Amino acid sequence: MESRSRFEQLVLTHRDAAYNLAYWILQNRDDAEDAVQDAYVRAFRAFAAFAGNDPRPWLLAIVRNVAYSAFSARKQRNLIKLIEDSKEMNRVGPASATQDPSPETVAIVQQEHKLLLEAVAGLPHIQREVLVLRELEGLAYKDIADIMGTEIGTVMSRLSRARAELRRLFECRANNLHVSVSSPHRRPRRS
């Protein structure tokens, strides 16, 4: 019984972060909810072996593994979807500087937010994941490295590439240019 209350106290408080990571990996609300539920069941079963001080990176590593397993299982039918509802928009989107924004300002902010979400959704999974963990969840590089099972330097380089690609995609979409994500393995052909 004590283990259950300790689990609830330490781990359940990170549900939003778990959902956020699962959503950005799976790009589907229902699948993200399922992944988070499965991850919490796994985390509860393994909680007795948890020996750290901060359960957030530990939990997010479990969520990441569950979400990627779910993603692999549905890879054939995966379609990237955008977040459109106001709750998700307020979580990630920019805030207006005025108290009562004009309808024009609201429309501009919503359009910029939509462009940003499209750009984030257009990133490769590995770049989107590291960007979400750092920028949206505010995790330290070390925690991200632990979650992803890689070195801190690799996290830093992936984050740098993700930011650069996000900037490029956002600028191109803002200029109404439809571009694809650049592949690190393909070089542009010269005419």
**pLDDT at 113 > cutoff 70:** yes
Q: Who contacts 54 (Cβ-Cβ below 8 Å, separation ≥6)?
A: 143
Q: Which of 40-54, 86-100, 158-172 has the lowest mean pLDDT?
A: 86-100
* Cα–Cα nearest to 28, from 101, 96, 68, 82: 82
- How far is residue 124's CA from residue 135's CA, in Å, rounded to a whole number? 16
Domain 1-80 matching CATH 3.30.930.10: the answer reads: no
- How far is residue 35's CA from residue 140's CA, in Å, rounded to a whole number? 23
Token couple for 159? 């984050």
Q: What is the pLDDT of residue 68?
A: 87
- How far is residue 58's CA from residue 68's CA, in Å, rounded to a whole number? 16
Q: What is the pLDDT of residues 7-33, one digit of tens each?
A: 988 999 999 999 999 998 888 899 999
Contact 123, 131 (CB under 8 A): yes
Q: What is the pLDDT of residues 45-92, one digit of tens each?
A: 999 888 888 899 999 999 999 998 887 776 534 333 333 343 344 454
Mean pLDDT of 129-133: 89
- How far is residue 60's CA from residue 67's CA, in Å, rounded to a whole number? 10
Q: Where in the chain is the domain with CATH 1.10.1740.10?
A: 1-80
Q: Is the pTM of this model over 0.95?
A: no
Q: Where in the chain is the domain with CATH 1.10.10.10?
A: 85-183
**pLDDT at 149 > cutoff 60:** yes
Candidate CATH numbers 1.10.10.10, 1.10.238.10, 3.40.50.800, 1.10.1660.10; the one for domain 85-183: 1.10.10.10
Token couple for 125? 């999974």
Mean pLDDT across the chain: 78
Answer with the residue of higher pLDDT: 184 or 167.
167
- How far is residue 103's CA from residue 40's CA, in Å, rounded to a whole number? 42
Q: What is the pLDDT of residue 158?
A: 93
Share of the chain above pLDDT 90, in %: 33
Residue 190 backbone dihedrals phi, psi, to 5 degrees:
-95, 140
